[in-house]
Each structure stands twice: as C-alpha cells, then as structure tokens.
A and B are shown apart, each in its own frame.
Chain A
C-alpha cells in the first residue's frame, strides 16, 4: 500500500496545519496522472513526504489558498512555500533535494529532455478524450489515430537514439514525466494504441521493471472502480479502494 492511501479532504474540512520540519507535503489525488509525476519523483529520490488527497469534485475552501484554481499537484514545504504545475514541482524536487539526480548534469542533455517534453504535449489531452469518449459509449477512432501518430513520433526518437529510455540507457526524469499516461493506457481501454510501436512497448516493459514505478503501480481493479464512480459523478470516487 502506497503512502498516499488516505481519504480525501473536501468542503467543510479543517485546513491542515503547517508542514513539519524535515518533511515536504504534496496535495494530490490517488488517480491523477499529473500528481503521479510528482509522487514518482518523491519516491525515486527517497524524499520524506506526507500526502494530503483532495476531493476534486468538492474542494475544500482552504485549498484555494494553496492554488488559485484548486489544481493539483501542489508542494508545500515547512517554510510554507508553495510550488505548483507538475513539471515545475518535479524540477524543484530534483534541485532542492540531494542524492540521485533525475535530470542529467549536462546542460545540453537537460535541454534535450525539455525538448522531448514538448513533443509529448498532446498525449495527456488525447488520452483523456479517448477515455471520456469511450465511457460515453461513443467510438474514438479519430482520437486513437491521432494518439497513435503521437506515439509514432516518440517511437522515432527511441529508434534514432537507439536507447531503451528516453534519456539514455538509464531511467531519468523525462521517463517519469511520460510514464503516468502509459500506465493508464490499459485501464482507459486504449492499450492497442502501442500495437505498432515496438520500441515504445519495450520502454513500457522496462519501466514496469523500475522499482519506483513498481512501488506506485495502481491496482487495475481499484482504478476501474474509481473510473466507474467518477463517470457517475459520485463524489466518493476519489476514495475508492481505501480500507480506512
């Protein structure tokens, strides 16, 4: 069980106190892909942290003091400093904490990873649209075609580099920034979108062997349970699968 297995806070909940020294706090939601990025970095770098899950359909009033639009993920440290936007949060963690560096040291290689992120920018929107369309009982052939095209672009990168991971022979930041959407392909019902991209499939397999990715893998049945409730507009969706 991951350390974010706590019930969400919603409207009417009391605001949490300050973040204890030696910890960093993440405002999150167990199934959100953007927050997933930040949780991967926290895990990969072994950063001591606490997670507060937010009920995204019923946001606490106090949460808007953490983010003007109530988005997640948001980091809060013991100085009360707030950092948001998932990519900014991930880079902050890599800069602020010692140990394993997820971004490369070389400034050109760092720039390359940021350019790769630009290539990825259509994927989140397309995967979400596929999910919503399928759940509404409509076909999403056009969307899947567009998504396959994006995957072909990524396939080309792996082919050109001739490496397993997007940053080279070892896993690095860019792989973690991409991963959450690939983990969701199966549960969203669009796993066949990687049928024609063998290097990407190899990358997915290699990612599933990574200890960090494994530690945070979401159980398929729990995810499906969440999705079912979410699409019924049930506010309890976000706590699906919690025993407490």
Chain B
C-alpha cells in the first residue's frame, strides 16, 4: 500500500463523469465474489454525482460495524447498490451535507433522498424494497425486536471501550460489564427457546446486533461467550448465513485497521487496499 493519500480530487473540481472505473457497482444476488472496494473519499475530494436510477447508494466505511448493519440488509434482500467509502479520520466537507452528524452509514437514492442512522436505514430498506421481509409484520413481534435492540444498546460503546484499553490499563471492569450485557441477551434466547433473536429463522434484529459479535470472532475473543451457551450457538448459526459469510471481515485487515484507527492514523480506513 502506498503512503499516498486516498484518491484525491481537488476542491472546486467538477465531479468526474460516472464510469465503471469511478463507481464500483455491487449488484444484487450475484455469483460469490464481491467487487473490489474503492479507497475512501477524504477531505478535499469532490462530491459524487447523483445516484443512478435503479441503484441505492450507501456511504460507508469498510470496518464500521454500524455501516455493516446496512450492508447486511442490502445483501440479504438482494438490493442493487453502490458503495462510497468515507475516510472517517479525514471527512470530506461535502459529506456533512449528506448527514449533518457526519457519520456513516448514510443511504442516498436516485431521488436524492437521504436516510441516516443505521437502524433507520435498515428499516427503510426493509419497507422500501420487495422480497423477504426482515422485520415481522406482527406489531408485537416487531416491538419485541425493538426491545431487544434497546437491550443490546450498551454493547457497542462497551466493546469499543474494551478495545481502546486492551494491553493498557486493567479492563476487568469493562469485561464484567460485557458479561452482564451478554447475559441479558442469553436470557432472551433462553426464554424464547429459539436459535435466533426473532424466532426460528434469522431476521432483522440478528443482523442489527451481529457486527459486534463478528468483532469477537475476528479478535479471537470467543471466550467472552463461554458462559452464554445459547449466544454461542447463535453466533455459529449466524456464520452459516450467506449474507454474513459473504461480508465477513478479514481478521488481518481488521487488526491492521484497528491499530491505525486507535492511533488516529488518517490511513486507517483504507488499510489493506
């Protein structure tokens, strides 16, 4: 990987014409392999053009667990989409016009409508596109998935806090908190007596919480679910899902990214490219 910055377009340059080289189209249920991800867009880059008809665009970052939620839903529903990666350590100014919070994921459709907040993007995709419904139609079952989502909400900041501290200070307090949160999720599975959080088949809630459990696997922290057998079985079942396995992160790339990211290195988001 060269030491140069992400493919740069100077400020004020006209947006280049859309071409196969500029925009990597990732189509719906295609054969196995994914299209090569492009380098992230950073400060100074020109804004991308409008989204082509028939596609939806997701502003993402290869290692972001929140954006992963949206990518999983796009994949699971076979929705034709294109991905524009954003350098989260050096955000382009135009990106704040897409999302004032400056966060990924963000969806943009060919009508120029923009949707942000990962859970909102996932629900929008489920409602707007045909095919397999990931959220249940039954109002109570849908509410249950949202209640489990709330139950899970402490895990992302805890896990991030744990990763920041590793090999530095004593993180036993954070470990204990994580155990507590995982036990809550274990209780849900035990009470429901089903493999997945929404029932006997995989559904929205499973995709929404998956990316952080994928971290446990890529970072070889599986022992954290040793005391939660149902959660462990759920993880194994998730790994068999086609959307999950096709989007699984390469552990080496993730470690490389994480090290650079925690050092606030501007190249982190493009690690491995």
Residues on A with C-beta less than 8 A from B113 are: 108
Contact B140 A111 (CB under 8 A): no
**Is A50 close to B, CB under 8 A?**
no
For the complex, give the distance between the alpha carbons of A91 and B128 in Å.
Answer: 18
Q: Which of A82-90, A139-147, A174-182, A212-220 contacts B (4 or more CB under 8 A)?
A: A82-90
Known contacts A83-B140, A83-B143, A92-B139, A107 near B150 by CB under 8 Å: no
Q: Is the interface of A mostly helix, strand, loop or mixed?
A: helix
Of all chain B residues, the one with the shortest Cβ separation from A112 is B115
Interface string of B143-182 (1 = CB under 8 A from A): 1001100100000000000000000000000000000000
Measured in the bound complex, the distance between the Cα atoms of B140 and A77 in whole Å is: 10
On chain B, the residues within 8 Å of A83 by CB distance are 140, 143, 147
Query: Who on chain B is nearest to A110 by CB?
Result: B127
Asked if residues A115 and B146 are in contact (CB atoms below 8 Å), the reply is no
Distance between B1 CB and nearest chain A CB, rounded to angstroms: 36
Q: B120, A95: Cβ atoms under 8 Å?
A: no
- Report whether A92 and B116 are in contact in the complex, using a CB–CB cutoff of 8 Å: no
Give A115 to B147 CA distance when docked, in angstroms.
19
List A contacts of B140 (CB < 8 A).
77, 81, 83, 92, 96
**Which residues 108-153 of B have a CB within 8 angstroms of A?**
113, 115-117, 120-121, 123-124, 127-128, 139-140, 142-143, 146-147, 150
Cβ contact of A115, chosen from B117, B127, B128, B150, cutoff 8 A: B117
Q: Which residues of A contact B120 (CB under 8 A)?
A: 111, 114-115, 118
Task: Using A85-B146, A95-B142 as known contacts, list a sample of 10 further A-B pairs with CB atoms less than 8 Å apart, ordered by residue number in A.
Answer: A85-B150, A88-B147, A92-B143, A95-B139, A96-B139, A107-B124, A108-B124, A114-B117, A114-B120, A118-B117
